[in-house]
Chain A
Amino acid sequence: MSILNLAWLIPLFPFLAFVAISVFTYRNRALSHRLAIGGITIAFVLSQIVFWAAVLLPVGGGEQAYESPLIHWLSAGVERFTLGIYIDPATTVMLFMVPLVCLMIFIYSVGYMNFGTPEVDPRYSRFFAYISLFAAGMLGMVVFNNLLTFFIFWEIMDTCSYLLIGFWYEKKSAYQAGLKAFLVTKVGDLFFMLGLLLLYAEVGSLAYRDIFNPGTLEHLAHTPFLGTQFSMATVIALLLFGGTVGKSAQFPLHVWLPDATESPPPVSALIQAATMVSAGVFLVMRVFPIFAVAEEGVLAIGGIHITIVALIGALTAILASIIAVAQNDIQRVLAFSTISQLGYMVAAMGIGAYVASAFHLITHAFFKALLFLGSGSVIYGMEHGHRDSRIANCELQTHVRAHSPCSHPEEFDPNDMMNMGGLAKRMPRTFWMFLIGGLALSGFPLVTAGYWSKDAILVQAYEQSPAIFWVLAVAAGLTAFYAMRPICMTFFGQPRSKAAEHAPESIPSMTVPLIILAVFAVGLGWAGIPEHFPVIGGLIPNWFHHFVGSTIEAGNAAEHVAEAAHGFVWQPTALWVIFALGGMALGGLVYGWKPMQAGEMDRVEAAMRKVWLGWLYDAMRDRFYFDEIYQATFGRGSILLADLFYMFNHGVVDGLVNLVGRAGRGLSEVSDVFDLRVVDRLVDLTGPGTRALSDLSAVVDLKVVDGAVEGVGDTTKAGGRFIRPIQTGGIQNYLLLVSLMVLALVMTFLMMLFLQI
Chain B
Amino acid sequence: MIPLEWVLILAAALFCAGVYGVLSQRNGIAVLMGIELMLNATNINLVAFWRYLEPGAATGQAFALFVYAVAAAEAAVGLALIIAIWRTRDTIILEDIDLLKG
Residues of chain A having any CB pair with chain B under 8 Å: 76-78, 727-732, 734-736, 739
The complex places the Cα of A727 from the Cα of B102 at a distance, in Å, of: 7
In this complex, what residue of A is CB-closest to B51?
A75
Residues of chain B having any CB pair with chain A under 8 Å: 19, 22-24, 31, 57-58, 61, 94-95, 97-102
> Is A739 touching B98 in the complex (CB atoms < 8 A)?
no
A-B residue pairs, 6 tightest by C-beta: A729-B101, A729-B98, A77-B58, A729-B100, A736-B23, A732-B23
Residues of chain B within 8 A (CB-CB) of A730 are: 94-95, 97-98, 100
A-B contacts besides A77-B57, A732-B23, 7 pairs, CB < 8 Å: A76-B61, A77-B58, A78-B58, A728-B98, A730-B100, A739-B19, A739-B23
The complex places the Cα of A736 from the Cα of B19 at a distance, in Å, of: 9
Give min CB distance, A78 to chain B, whole Å: 8
Residues of chain A within 8 A (CB-CB) of B102 are: 727, 729
> Is A729 touching B99 in the complex (CB atoms < 8 A)?
yes
> Is A735 touching B22 in the complex (CB atoms < 8 A)?
yes
Give min CB distance, A368 to chain B, whole Å: 37
Give min CB distance, A516 to chain B, whole Å: 42
Per a CB cutoff under 8 Å, which of B24, B58, B95 touches A76? B58
User: Number of A-B pairs whose CB atoms are under 8 Å?
Assistant: 37
> Is A732 touching B94 in the complex (CB atoms < 8 A)?
yes
Give min CB distance, B48 to chain A, whole Å: 14
Give min CB distance, A440 to chain B, whole Å: 45
In this complex, what residue of B is CB-closest to A76?
B61
In this complex, what residue of A is CB-closest to B94?
A732
Residues of chain A within 8 A (CB-CB) of B57 are: 77
A-B contact pairs, 9 of them (CB 8 A): A728-B101, A729-B97, A729-B98, A730-B95, A730-B98, A731-B97, A732-B23, A732-B95, A739-B19
Give min CB distance, A737 to chain B, whole Å: 10
In this complex, what residue of B is CB-closest to A79?
B58
The complex places the Cα of A732 from the Cα of B58 at a distance, in Å, of: 36
The complex places the Cα of A729 from the Cα of B94 at a distance, in Å, of: 10
The complex places the Cα of A735 from the Cα of B22 at a distance, in Å, of: 8
The complex places the Cα of A78 from the Cα of B99 at a distance, in Å, of: 51
Residues of chain B within 8 A (CB-CB) of A77 are: 57-58, 61
Give min CB distance, A565 to chain B, whole Å: 55
Residues of chain A within 8 A (CB-CB) of B22 are: 732, 735
Give min CB distance, A25 to chain B, whole Å: 22
Residues of chain A within 8 A (CB-CB) of B98 are: 728-730
Residues of chain A within 8 A (CB-CB) of B95 are: 730, 732
The complex places the Cα of A78 from the Cα of B61 at a distance, in Å, of: 12
Per a CB cutoff under 8 Å, which of B19, B24, B94 touches A731? B94
The complex places the Cα of A730 from the Cα of B99 at a distance, in Å, of: 8
The complex places the Cα of A731 from the Cα of B95 at a distance, in Å, of: 8
The complex places the Cα of A732 from the Cα of B97 at a distance, in Å, of: 11
The complex places the Cα of A78 from the Cα of B58 at a distance, in Å, of: 8
Give min CB distance, A72 to chain B, whole Å: 12
Per a CB cutoff under 8 Å, which of A78, A728, A729, A735 touches B23? A735
The complex places the Cα of A555 from the Cα of B95 at a distance, in Å, of: 68
Residues of chain A within 8 A (CB-CB) of B24 are: 732
The complex places the Cα of A732 from the Cα of B93 at a distance, in Å, of: 11
The complex places the Cα of A200 from the Cα of B102 at a distance, in Å, of: 57
The complex places the Cα of A739 from the Cα of B18 at a distance, in Å, of: 12
The complex places the Cα of A78 from the Cα of B22 at a distance, in Å, of: 38
Residues of chain B within 8 A (CB-CB) of A727 are: 100-102
Q: Indicate the member of A78, A731, A739 with the most B CB atoms within 10 Å.
A: A731
Residues of chain B within 8 A (CB-CB) of A732 are: 22-24, 31, 94-95
The complex places the Cα of A728 from the Cα of B57 at a distance, in Å, of: 47
Give min CB distance, A426 to chain B, whole Å: 46
The complex places the Cα of A77 from the Cα of B58 at a distance, in Å, of: 4
Residues of chain B within 8 A (CB-CB) of A735 are: 22-23
Residues of chain A within 8 A (CB-CB) of B61 are: 76-77
In this complex, what residue of A is CB-closest to B24?
A732
Give min CB distance, A722 to chain B, whole Å: 15
Residues of chain A within 8 A (CB-CB) of B31 are: 732
Give min CB distance, B51 to chain A, whole Å: 9
The complex places the Cα of A551 from the Cα of B100 at a distance, in Å, of: 68
Residues of chain B within 8 A (CB-CB) of A739 are: 19, 23
The complex places the Cα of A319 from the Cα of B57 at a distance, in Å, of: 53
Give min CB distance, B70 to chain A, whole Å: 19
Give min CB distance, A35 to chain B, whole Å: 26
> Is A731 touching B23 in the complex (CB atoms < 8 A)?
no
**In the complex with contacts A736-B23, A739-B19, A731-B100 CB distance below 8 A:** yes
Give min CB distance, B88 to chain A, whole Å: 16
The complex places the Cα of A731 from the Cα of B57 at a distance, in Å, of: 39
The complex places the Cα of A78 from the Cα of B23 at a distance, in Å, of: 41
Residues of chain A within 8 A (CB-CB) of B23 are: 732, 735-736, 739
Give min CB distance, B55 to chain A, whole Å: 8
Give min CB distance, B93 to chain A, whole Å: 10
Give min CB distance, A721 to chain B, whole Å: 13
Give min CB distance, A749 to chain B, whole Å: 17
Residues of chain A within 8 A (CB-CB) of B58 are: 76-78
In this complex, what residue of A is CB-closest to B95?
A730
The complex places the Cα of A739 from the Cα of B101 at a distance, in Å, of: 20
The complex places the Cα of A729 from the Cα of B97 at a distance, in Å, of: 7
Residues of chain B within 8 A (CB-CB) of A729 are: 97-102
Give min CB distance, B74 to chain A, whole Å: 15
Give min CB distance, B27 to chain A, whole Å: 11
Give min CB distance, A728 to chain B, whole Å: 6
The complex places the Cα of A405 from the Cα of B34 at a distance, in Å, of: 41
Give min CB distance, B7 to chain A, whole Å: 16
The complex places the Cα of A76 from the Cα of B58 at a distance, in Å, of: 6
The complex places the Cα of A728 from the Cα of B95 at a distance, in Å, of: 9
The complex places the Cα of A735 from the Cα of B58 at a distance, in Å, of: 34
Residues of chain A within 8 A (CB-CB) of B101 are: 727-729
The complex places the Cα of A739 from the Cα of B95 at a distance, in Å, of: 18
Give min CB distance, B38 to chain A, whole Å: 11
In this complex, what residue of A is CB-closest to B31?
A732
Residues of chain A within 8 A (CB-CB) of B94 are: 730-732
In this complex, what residue of A is CB-closest to B100?
A729
Give min CB distance, B49 to chain A, whole Å: 15
Give min CB distance, B73 to chain A, whole Å: 16
Give min CB distance, A94 to chain B, whole Å: 32
Give min CB distance, A80 to chain B, whole Å: 11
Give min CB distance, B47 to chain A, whole Å: 11
The complex places the Cα of A734 from the Cα of B94 at a distance, in Å, of: 12
Residues of chain B within 8 A (CB-CB) of A734 are: 100
The complex places the Cα of A325 from the Cα of B22 at a distance, in Å, of: 55
In this complex, what residue of A is CB-closest to B59?
A77
Give min CB distance, B44 to chain A, whole Å: 16
The complex places the Cα of A736 from the Cα of B95 at a distance, in Å, of: 14
Give min CB distance, B35 to chain A, whole Å: 10
The complex places the Cα of A736 from the Cα of B94 at a distance, in Å, of: 14
The complex places the Cα of A164 from the Cα of B30 at a distance, in Å, of: 23
Give min CB distance, A560 to chain B, whole Å: 47
In this complex, what residue of A is CB-closest to B57?
A77
The complex places the Cα of A78 from the Cα of B56 at a distance, in Å, of: 7
In this complex, what residue of B is CB-closest to A736?
B23
Give min CB distance, A179 to chain B, whole Å: 15
The complex places the Cα of A17 from the Cα of B22 at a distance, in Å, of: 30
Give min CB distance, A741 to chain B, whole Å: 13
Give min CB distance, B17 to chain A, whole Å: 14
Give min CB distance, B28 to chain A, whole Å: 10
Give min CB distance, A319 to chain B, whole Å: 36
Residues of chain A within 8 A (CB-CB) of B97 are: 729-731
